[in-house]
Structure 1
Amino acid sequence: MMLSEKELKSLCQTAATAATVAGQYIQSRFDKHYTRRHKETGHSLASQVVTEIDVKAQEIILEHLNSTIQNYDLGLLTEEAADDQSRLDKPYFWCIDPLDGTLPFTEKRTGYAVSIALIANSGDPVIGVVYVPDLAYCYTSFKGAGVWLNGSPFVREKAAVNDSICIYSDRALQHETYFEPVNDRLNEWARHKNAQIKYHSGFGSVRNALGVMTSGTGCCFKLPKETKGGGSIWDFAATRLFFEELDLHVSDARGGRLHLNDEKSTFMNEVGVIYATGSGLAEFIQGII
Structure 2
Amino acid sequence: MKHMFRTWFLSVTSIAALLALAATYAWFTSNRAVSTSVATARSGEETLELQISSRGGSGFQSMDTAAIQQVNQTSATYLMPVSTADLVNFVYVPMTVNGNASTFEEVKEEKYYYHGRVYLRAQGTGWPQGTRMNLYLDQTDGFLGRNTDGKMLSAARLGLMFDGDASTAAILRLTEEELGSKQVYNTVINGKTLGKNQVLSSKNHTVQAVTDPSVSVADYTVSFGSEDIQIPEKALLSMELNKVYTVDVYFYLEGCDPDCSDAIDFQQADLHLAFYGMVEEVTG
Which protein has greater RCO, CA pairs closer than 8 Å, 6+ apart? 2
Taking structure 1 as the reference length, the TM-score comes to 0.25
Taking structure 2 as the reference length, the TM-score comes to 0.25
The structure having more radius of gyration, on CA atoms, is 2
